[in-house]
Amino acid sequence: MAVIKLEHFERSDFAQLMEWMDSPKFLFQWGGQTFSFPLNEQQLEHYIKDANTNTAQAFIYRVVHVENNEVIGHIQLQMDRVNQSARIGKVLVGKRSLRGQGIGQLMIKKVAAIAFEELKLHRVSLGVLDFNLSAIACYEKAGFVKEGLIRDKRRMDNEFWSVWEMSMLENEWMK
């Protein structure tokens, strides 16, 4: 299994992420309403503006394959310090040849470790499109539990997409 590390996402990572976002539909699946196609530097500047500091509401990471120091993915942790919770989002194994090898699960476990062990949070949640069966399986293997289906939450073109809301609590992580 691959060994990965999370490092702060920076301007030097913009070009790689923009390359991965090769269609409006894929960008929407990954980034929701945060971004519009085509993804550009101006949108990404806004995205990282107040991220990755001690007082930040968002921690944004590039995923690095340790063996060759290659950036292979992206993940975000959005904080809610008042409620001791966070939301995982913008999860992507960008390098297609590495998908289906457990890297997504490693990414989720690493970001959950940051949330529960470093930031001492109580709850971590995420949302996943109901048709993204590989992502749902990945999150369940990492210990996340389905809380409920939010029907027709997202609209893409003339389609409505439903979203599974999933979470993990600190006592579940500690097991």
Across-strand partners of 89? 76
Question: What does the pLDDT look like over 133-175, one tens digit per residue?
Answer: 999 999 999 999 999 999 999 998 899 999 999 999 999 999 8
Q: Convert the pLDDT of each residue in 92-139 to its tens digit.
A: 999 889 998 999 999 999 999 999 999 999 999 999 999 999 999 999
pLDDT (0 to 100) of residue 156: 85
CA distance 41 to 16: 11
pLDDT of residue 119: 95
DSSP strand pairing (123-129 vs 159-169): antiparallel
- In the chain, the N- to C-terminal Cα span, in Å, equals 23
CB count, 10 Å around CB of 43? 17
Supply the pLDDT for residue 175.
87
Closest by alpha carbon to 127, among 162, 157, 92?
Answer: 162
Strand residues in 130-158 grouped as ranges (E): 145-156
151 contacts: CB under 8 Å, gap ≥ 6:
162
Q: Average pLDDT in the 72-80 region?
A: 97
Q: Which domain holds residue 45?
A: 4-174
- Give the number of domains in the chain: 1
Has residue 8 got a pLDDT over 90?
A: yes
The CATH number that applies at residue 150 is 3.40.630.30
pLDDT tier for residue 1 given thresholds of 50, 70 and 90: low
